[in-house]
Amino acid sequence: MTDKYNKDLSIEVLVGFFMFIILIALGVFTIILSRQNFLQKRYPVAVVFDEVSGLRDGDNVFLRGMKVGVVKDTVLENSHVVVHANLDSPVQFREGYKVEVVASSMLGGKQLKIEEGPLSAAPIPKDAVISGTTPTDILEELGAAVASVRQITDQVSSGKGTLGKLIYEDTVYNNLSDVSTKLAKGEGTVGKLINDETVYNDLKTTMSNLQEVSSRLEKGEGTLGKLLSKDEQLYKDLTATMSNLRTITDKVGTGEGTLGKLVNDDKLYDEAGKLLGELRAAIDDMRETSPVTTFSTVLFGAF
């Protein structure tokens, strides 16, 4: 009886020990699957959204393409959704920041994407409310695109718009046929450009002349060619000439030299005006006395 009791007790202890090992393993796997290190320090952050498009607890948080934390929970408060996330390191939000819910893959799933803002922007106070950007629903966007395509195809099918008229109206086809016929016959400006060899030859000659001119310019021939050539002597001469002209104008502006005094000295200008007035008066006097002098010379010259 005692042996049987001891045997049953041993089995129970073994089963209990086995269950204990299973519970420990489940705990370890739970920690691993939850992607959280309970021994590491966490930095909580709360983001307010209008809606989160299926973001769930445990989804990853990314910053600059790197995983920096996980979503702890999502709480519905009034007309908003507050997302609480635990980050591996603190994030300093700045003016121009952006927090949004994005798709983690084409097969589904969501993740939280953080952009802390430009480095040159002012920092956001730590007690400020962080607002998230309303995520874009890919299915809604795809549905809107499909609706737009359907509307376009309906208009084309009913003969509306340019494409619809091109497909369904014979007038447009006839006009295109008429234009192509005229082009083939060489009628009109475009037709002549296509069929008349004279225009082609003229264009060919023009292009040849342009090529010759560009070749001469490249060789430095002619005035323009010398200006564009790699020889810097002409450029240096022009620079020296401009420098000399600038020196002369500066001297004239400051009243140096004869020309500078003529331009800037009012006294010299007044004297020159006075001299011109006196010269004009002398010429007028000579004109008035000239007939009398001539008559006297003739009269007394006869004796």
Task: Identify the bridge partners of residue 120 per DSSP, sorted by sequence position.
Answer: none
Q: How far apart are CA 93 and CA 70, in angstroms?
A: 18
Q: What are phi and psi of 247, to 5 degrees?
A: -65, -45
- The larger pLDDT score, comparing residue 261 to residue 249, is at 249
Average pLDDT over residues 43-67: 91
Average pLDDT over residues 193-221: 78
When pLDDT is cut at 50, 70 and 90, the band that residue 48 belongs to is: very high
If you ran DSSP here, which 8-state letter would residue 123 be given?
B
Tokens of 170: 């014979």
Spans of all domains in the chain: 43-140, 148-195
In this predicted structure, the answer to whether residue 196 has a pLDDT above a threshold of 80 is no
When pLDDT is cut at 50, 70 and 90, the band that residue 234 belongs to is: low
Could you give the percent of the chain with pLDDT greater than 70? 74
pLDDT tens by residue, 9-44: 677 777 788 888 898 888 777 766 655 555 678 889
> For the chain, what is the total number of helices (H) and then of strands (E)?
10, 7
pTM: 0.41
Q: How far is CA 182 from the centre of its chain?
A: 45
In this predicted structure, the answer to whether residue 57 has a pLDDT above a threshold of 70 is yes
